[in-house]
Chain A
Amino acid sequence: EADIYQTPRYLVIGTGKKITLECSQTMGHDKMYWYQQDPGMELHLIHYSYGVNSTEKGDLSSESTVSRIRTEHFPLTLESARPSHTSQYLCASTGGVEAFFGQGTRLTVV
Chain B
Amino acid sequence: RKEVEQDPGPFNVPEGATVAFNCTYSNSASQSFFWYRQDCRKEPKLLMSVYSSGNEDGRFTAQLNRASQYISLLIRDSKLSDSATYLCVVRGTYKYIFGTGTRLKVLA
Residues of A in contact with B (beta carbons under 8 Å apart): 31, 33, 35, 39, 41-43, 45, 48, 50, 58-59, 90, 92, 94, 97-104
Contacts and interface: CB of A to CB of B under 8 A. Distances in A.
Q: Give the interface residue-count category, chain B.
A: 20 to 34
Contact of A45 (B41, B87, B95): B95
B98 A42 contact: yes
Contacts of A98: 34, 46, 49
21 contacts: A33-B96, A35-B98, A39-B41, A42-B100, A42-B101, A43-B44, A43-B87, A50-B94, A58-B95, A59-B95, A59-B97, A94-B96, A97-B32, A98-B34, A98-B49, A99-B46, A99-B89, A99-B91, A100-B46, A101-B43, A101-B45
A35 B96 CA distance: 10
B100 A92 contact: no
A59 B45 CA distance: 21
Nearest to A98: B46
B96 A92 contact: yes
Contacts of B97: 45, 59
Contacts of A39: 41
Contacts of B98: 35, 42-43
Scoring B45, B89, B94 by chain A CB atoms within 10 A of each residue's CB, the highest score goes to: B94
